[in-house]
Amino acid sequence: LIQQRCSDDRGEGKKVNGKISTNENGKKGKKRSCDVSKRDKDKLTFLYLNARSVANKMDELTVIVNLWEPDVVGVTESWANENNFDTEYELEGYRMFRHDRPSGNRGGGVLLYARNELEPSEVVPRTEYPEHCWCKINGVNRDEVFIRVCDRTGTEKIFGPKNHSQL
């Protein structure tokens, strides 16, 4: 969980840590602004997004990541494929791990980002489960922490009947 101090406000966006807060729909009215400067540096923070195609949402993801400064970001339903370059999905200050759904199948795919200062390294487990990424990071007190993001399709048509047992 991201530790934060939040308050409700009415009117235009206000500055929070030098950044302008806005409401989700861009309209006037009740807004929620959060002070993320009070984040506890002794705890890892995570951000998760089911993107349903992250390519057209990278600007928003970048803003959210810059505001919240999570240690780890997991994205499911990236919809990335072999026609997309890694550079299209990079986040400054993070190492990215990526696993796309095989071509010919729309949707799926996962992205996993970890802060560079956590010294992330890829982990490749022995499994036939198709849509997942693992990495190892140096967590609090330099303990090794293993992180995984996976996408579990609800249909056997894509990966067959053993998909769920492989998870």
pLDDT value at position 153? 73
Element (H, E) at 153: none
Round to whole Å and give the CA distance between 44 and 55: 26
**pLDDT block averages, 10 residues each, the chain of length 167:** 35 37 44 51 90 95 96 95 94 96 81 96 85 88 89 68 64
What is the tens place of the pLDDT at every residue in 11-24? Answer: 333 333 434 344 44
In this prediction, residue 119 carries a pLDDT of 95
Could you tell me which residues come within 8 angstroms of residue 120 by beta carbon, excluding any fewer than 6 positions away? 95, 97, 114, 135, 136, 137
**pLDDT at site 18:** 38
**pLDDT in the model for residue 101:** 84
Q: Which of 98, 103, 89, 40 has the alpha carbon at shortest distance from 69? A: 40
Task: Please give the pLDDT value at position 47.
Answer: 97
pLDDT score, position 145: 93
Q: DSSP readout, 23-82?
A: -TTS-SSEEEEEEGGG--TTS--EEEEE-SSSGGGHHHHHHHHHHH--SEEEEE-----T
Q: Report helix, strand or coil for 134.
A: strand
CA 167 to chain centroid: 20
Which pLDDT belongs to residue 35? 52
The amino acid at residue 70 is P
